[in-house]
Amino acid sequence: MRILVPEILDFLGPEDPRAIRSRRDLVLVNRLMRQSAIMANTLAPLPSPKLWVDLGGGDGRFLLRTLARMTRRWPAGKVQIADRLNIVSTQTRAGFAALGWTCESLTGDIMETLPGLSPDLITANLFLHHLDDNALPKLLELVAQSRAFVACEPQRSGFSLLGAHLIGLLGVNDVTRHDALASVRAGFHGHELSRLWPKTEGWRLAERAVFPFTHLFCAYAL
């Protein structure tokens, strides 16, 4: 059973030193989880999107690392990073531009901003687990207006929980240590996201655990 506990980073201001350190920690955590490689490998068979929206994309560095793996297949397009804060740096925006892509930030409630968009592709990295089983179906209903959706979330398992308990060995701060445990307990297992997807025809769903700590969910329009 999922257990949702508020994560500290969600309540810290963008300039809070603990938040800045934790966002830096998350770059390391994403690399250890192989998140950008998993995301890029999953996206590889898809056609290049004209508009790509990333939910809860934070400072955009994860999406930039993912796109860097895709540039031969996807030479140009537009990304919109949806998050409660606009914390995408000038350097990160320049990184997108160097790959031939434009980057925009979208702030505010995603339930309000997403209906006004028409993306070909929507992705989420370590975002869906923040939502409970009442909010998730509402978001997935909106996401299903796109052509493809891929989410890399925390895998809720004993092995992942062990990893979260040991994360302090990496030298991360107290915010990251707390939030790592909270993320795993709120993560996903089995086909929990598939069961919450809108009951409409015309979609191919796939959901599975990916070593070492990721729960992967994909939805493709037929």
Do the Cβ atoms of 39 and 150 come closer than 8 Å?
A: yes
Strands, DSSP E only, in the chain? 51-55, 77-82, 101-106, 121-125, 148-154, 203-210, 214-221
At residue 217, the 3 state secondary structure works out as: strand
pLDDT digits (tens, 9 = 90+) for 119-164: 999 999 999 999 999 999 999 999 999 999 999 999 999 999 999 9
The pTM of the full predicted model, rounded to 2 decimals, is 0.95
How is the chain split into domains, by residue range? Answer: 8-221
Q: CA of 71: how far to CAs of 54, 101, 112, 193, in Å?
A: 17, 10, 31, 29
Which pLDDT tens digits describe the chain residue by residue (222 residues)? 999 999 999 999 989 999 999 999 999 999 999 999 999 999 999 999 999 999 999 999 999 999 999 988 898 999 999 998 899 999 999 999 999 999 999 998 899 989 989 999 999 999 999 999 999 999 999 999 999 999 999 999 999 999 999 999 999 999 999 999 999 999 999 999 999 999 989 999 999 999 999 999 999 999
The reply to whether CATH 3.40.50.300 applies to domain 8-221 is no
